[in-house]
Every structure is written in structure tokens, then in C-alpha cells.
Structure 1
């Protein structure tokens, strides 16, 4: 794994067992992979939202999920890595917080449709498919009136992606999600903005691509 840039996606595999193994190895190789702090865009973009049911996609070690729970959200957090989920659950227990931890990929989770007031995907490694399964899973999880928030790093050049051992076209971008938004959605934010100072994995990135959309019906 590329420990100097641990947020680089792993080489693409569509086999759930291989995906889990890759992420388990990545987490097991370090005592803590991420900073332990909630993502700044999540904080800023949800500050005015009334807490309800939220899905945290690719929750990792749980910093976002725990912060959301502290704000009064009813949190479901999913990840493919039980190593990461175990760390998140231990931290939740230490803080006295309740979170529903779900060991699954997004597509495989078979979530109840239209059941979350907020779906948050912060820098997700979602595999692109010809039928846009991951994108439709994100959209389908949002209840009417709810918000979808997808945040990512700007797309690397082909050379940068190859240097880190992956194909950038294998992964879903915010633009891929935005392209599927129909008349039943209103885009509230779709921009690239300077990134706030951060620590931990991903701190070397200087910009964020932010998509926030509200489902109208």
C-alpha cells in the first residue's frame, strides 16, 4: 500500500472479499490511518441541517459518524473493513455514543430506499460500473427533502494515478453523481474550493470537490 499517500484508492477489484482484504491490510498496517477529526466540509455543509437519519458511506475509523452522533443524528455508518469498524465501535463505546455500524459495501448493503435525511460520502472509493450501481445507491438512499453530500479530491492526472497504482476511471467522482440528478433534485453546491488545513491522511491535498444536492420528491 502507498503509505505516504494512504488515501490513494487501492487497485480496483470488484470482488468483495478482495476489497475487504485490501482495506483491512491498509488499516492493520497503521495504528491510526486517518486524523481522527471529522471532515471540515461535512461540518460546514451540515451545520444548518436539522438532525435526522444519516448514512455515512465508507466511514473508516468513524470520525464523521461519531461527530454526527454528537450533534444528535441517528447514524448508520458502513464500511467494507471490519478492522476499521472495530476501531470506530471502540471509540463510540468510550464516548458513550450509539451508532449502527454496518459491515458492507454501499451497493451490497441493500439499504431501505429513501430512508435517510442525509447521505454523506466523504472521499469515497466507490467503483464505477456500466450501470452506475454506486451512484444509484447513493441517490436511492436519500428521502424526499433529504440531502446528498459527496466530497472528493480533484481528479488526479492519469500519470499521478498510475504512480499510485490505480486507474482514475475506475472510481466514481462527484461529477458522475451529478450527471444522474434529474428534475427531482436541486443542486445546492457544485464547486471546487480551497481545502481547510487538515492533518492525517489526505492533508497534502489543497482543494475539495463538493456536491450537495437536495431531493425534492
Structure 2
């Protein structure tokens, strides 16, 4: 676990306000609602807005993040909404779980370094059952230009950490892509995702 990254996120999540708001990501909200409930995994879940939303829908939620402050905020949000989530402090490298144990995997603004990305995506996809659901929203390569126009849009400053559609197809080989596309969208997620962003979106089923 990178102490530098952990300190950054602990500081961001240690504030009273929710850094990215309490409402779920809109793409996740629109897509998750229509699928049968099961066991769902949220890596790099931060303050829990998406995990809590899934729990409200009736999913059995498991989440992790390297930030202990994020875990505290997520558990507070779950309590506020009258639901339970299982949340541990871990990064992807150290996270351990039985393969093929989840019905859904959600990656919302979960960005990795170039050296980590494919390995981590493949590790996480191994935790999905056959016919398991994959939902992704993240910043695309074109987002670098959006950041120059509006720093409040957020996202990694390192271009290699941004998503490319062909890379995602390769990372998640063995999935049936229901949809995979890039688009510009207006984000209103707390204080750190505000304004027009270039994002990629994925809805896929594990073969």
C-alpha cells in the first residue's frame, strides 16, 4: 500500500463534507437498478456513496479502499441510510478474496498506474462469477484537455492513468460488452468532480 496515496486520500476524506457527495454516480444509478440483486464488490470505494446506494437497492455489498478515513465516512453514510455494508481497508494488491465469489463488480473512478492497471483489472475480474456484471465509469484520455479548461472537473493528472476503450477491451477479455463508449458529461459530484468531463462507460457481462 502506497503511504503517499494513503495519506492523500485520508486527508481528502478526513473532512466533514463528503468529497464526492453522498449521491451515487449517475451511470451506476441508471444501470445497476435493472439487474437481479446479489453480492457486489466496490474496489477503491472511498466514502461509500455508490456502495450505500447498492445496499439501499438490496444488494449484499462488499467494499474496500486504502483510506481508513474513507471507511469511517462510508460506515457513517450507511448508518444514515439504514443499511449495512462490509468494508475493509486495503489496496488491490493486498486484497484477498475467493475467486468467482461476486455477482457484480463496480469501478467508478478507480484509476491505476500504467504498470498496475491490467494486472489489477484481471485480478478483480477473476472475483466475478460467470455471467457476473461489470460496470465502469472513469476518466478517458481526452479528459486531459477538460482538466486544462476546468481543473475542478477532477481526475488523475497523469495521462497514462486515464482510460482508453481498446485497453479496457483487452484488460477485460472474456467479457461480453453490452456497451462501451466515451462521452462528455456534466459532473456534479461533491467538491472535486464539478463541470464537464470526458468519461468512458462500460456495461459488460463475464462469459
Q: TM-score range by the shorter chain?
A: 0.7 to 0.9
- Superposed CA RMSD: 2.5
Residue 76 of structure 1: how far off its partner (Å): 0.3
- Matched residues, number: 199
Divergent runs of 4+, >6 A: none
After alignment, is 18-27 or 33-42 more displaced?
18-27
**1:8 match:** none
Q: Distance in 1 between matches of 2:197 and 2:34?
A: 25
Residue 40 of structure 1: how far off its partner (Å): 0.6
**Is 1:202 aligned with 2:202?**
no
**For the Cα contact (< 8 Å) 1:127–1:134, is it kept in 2?**
no
1:87 paired residue among 73, 78, 97: 73
**2:206 match:** 215
Gaps of 5+ in 1: 1-14
**2:131 match:** 145
**1:186 match:** 176
Larger relative strand fraction = 2
- Any idea what SS the aligned residue of 1:198 has? strand
1:1-217 pair list within 5 angstroms: 15-29=1-15, 31-129=17-115, 132-155=118-141, 156-157=143-144, 160=147, 166-169=157-160, 171=161, 173=163, 175=165, 176-182=167-173, 184-195=174-185, 198-200=188-190, 201-216=192-207
Q: Distance in 2 between matches of 1:168 and 1:189?
A: 24
Q: Distance in 1 between matches of 2:156 and 2:199?
A: 22
Deviation digits for residues 77-115 of structure 1 (CA, Å, limit 9, x no counterpart):
111111111011122123321100011112320222111
Q: Distance in 2 between matches of 1:142 and 1:180?
A: 14
Gaps of 5+ in 2: none
**For the Cα contact (< 8 Å) 1:145–1:214, is it kept in 2?**
yes
Q: When the two structures are superposed, what TM-score results if normalisation uses the length of structure 1? A: 0.81
Change in 2 beyond 3 A, CA 1:199/1:135: closer
Change in 2 beyond 3 A, CA 1:76/1:160: same
